[in-house]
Structure 1
Amino acid sequence: MAYTPHKPSNPETSDELRARIPGWGADLDPKHRPAVPREVYEPNPYGAVWEFPESQQEKRPRERSTEHAYLTPVFGTSCPPRGASGVIRRFAYRRYSEGRAAHWLLLIAADRVDAFESTARSFVSKHPDNPLTETGIVTELSHHGLRSRRHQKRADVIHHPLDPVIVAAPWIAAGFVVVRVVRRIRHALR
């Protein structure tokens, strides 16, 4: 068991492991281990004197991996999952183990949804996001952005033509959707 000073016991015996895994236990005989003269078993090498550390209070249900029976004794609480991204994260942890690609792809999708949600939340706040200043477009024009990249052996020069597309495309697409929705609402009201 993790977080205890005791060495966990093997679920299988050495003979069972040796029969199942070729070469397993090659270093069990002390003659075959070069570190044996210096090897010293210290039960508390790092000064851990507790049997199991006191666990942090779980004020809200946290996502946890299917591989683990419980949360680690200390866990982060600064960014609790919320909204649609939180639903996706909880589903990823509840349904798939960390060894599955679907788990990680869902977490990546949740990050993208969270970015969209935070942008949408900023529009209803007192200080909405400003894509012109926050993406650095104004600085590119006022502080010699293109001139600083020409005739230099920079690794990032190759993707610079894509940067405006990656930064501007979501905003243009969102603007297009808003215009279409407004037109449909106007048409429906007539």
Structure 2
Amino acid sequence: MPYTSDRPSRAPSADALRSRIPGWGADLDPADRPAFPREQPGIVTGAHWDLPEQQPSDGRRERSVEHQRLTPVFGTAQPLHGVSGRIRRLAYDTYSEAQAAHWLLLIIGDRVDAAGAHLRSLLTRRPDNPITQSGVLGEAGRRPIASRLQRGRVDLKHSWMDPLIVLGPYIAVAVLAGAVLRRRRSSR
């Protein structure tokens, strides 16, 4: 109901709602609520702690500046590494999570990590294939042109950049490799 200057009508009674809406108020009786016993204070949970003991940390972990300490349990599967790790650490050490700079640095760190992964894949026997692994072939049978140009798409303004973003790193490496090869040939 839109806001008006009229006084709002009174809320219907529980009996009126129960008669009008099937199942309304099914959880009013505590006996019918499956979580009811756990909602009572003083229930023994079986936990032997008020706060879990601190997980040992063998290295430096990320912690936002607004938090006084690390959480008792934290993940260690992907430690920070390289240039992207330094960028992320700068975000955590310098800026609060409420500041845009914190999140922008985390995004930049992610992009630097992705670029490093692309470069590392070029040095392997089976480098990434931008055609099959970017989803371009998935659009082929699903009206690719019409779906990109339809009205109401939010990303229509920047869709011209998509090929540059996906293929740009590969084109840059190819140009760089060509320049290196030309320079080697000219030095001989």
Q: Normalising to structure 1: TM-score of the pair?
A: 0.61
Cα distance between partner residues in 1 of 2:89 and 2:71: 17
- Structure 2 residue aligned with 1:128: 127
Contact 1:139 1:145 in 2 (8 A): no
- Structure 2 residue aligned with 1:95: 94
Question: Which one is further off, 87-96 or 160-169?
Answer: 160-169
Equivalent residues in 2 for 1:152-171 (5 A)?
A: 155=153, 158=156, 160-171=159-170
* Cα 1:118–1:155 shift into 2, 3 Å: same
Identity %: 46
- Structure 1 residue aligned with 2:144: 146
Unaligned 5+ runs, structure 1: 1-40
- Structure 1 residue aligned with 2:84: 85
- Structure 2 residue aligned with 1:180: 179
Larger RCO (CA within 8 A; separation ≥ 6): 1
CA displacement at 1:45 relative to structure 2:
10
CA displacement at 1:175 relative to structure 2:
2.0
SS of the aligned residue for 2:101 comes to helix
Cα distance between partner residues in 2 of 1:166 and 1:127: 21
- Structure 2 residue aligned with 1:112: 111
Q: Normalized per residue, which structure has more helix? A: 2
- Structure 1 residue aligned with 2:64: 65
Cα distance between partner residues in 2 of 1:133 and 1:97: 39
Question: Which one is further off, 82-91 or 100-109?
Answer: 100-109
Contact 1:123 1:129 in 2 (8 A): yes
Q: Aligned residues, how many? A: 149
CA deviations 1:83-117 (Å, max 9, x no partner) are: 11011111221222323332222111101101111
Q: Normalising to structure 2: TM-score of the pair?
A: 0.62
Cα distance between partner residues in 2 of 1:150 and 1:66: 42
- One-letter code of the match for 1:97? S
CA displacement at 1:73 relative to structure 2:
1.0
Contact 1:97 1:103 in 2 (8 A): yes
SS of the aligned residue for 1:149 comes to helix
RMSD: 3.4
SS of the aligned residue for 2:73 comes to coil
* Cα 1:80–1:161 shift into 2, 3 Å: same
- One-letter code of the match for 1:149? S
* Cα 1:119–1:42 shift into 2, 3 Å: same
Unaligned 5+ runs, structure 2: 1-39
Is the counterpart of residue 55 in structure 1 residue 54 in structure 2? yes
Question: Which one is further off, 83-92 or 47-56?
Answer: 47-56
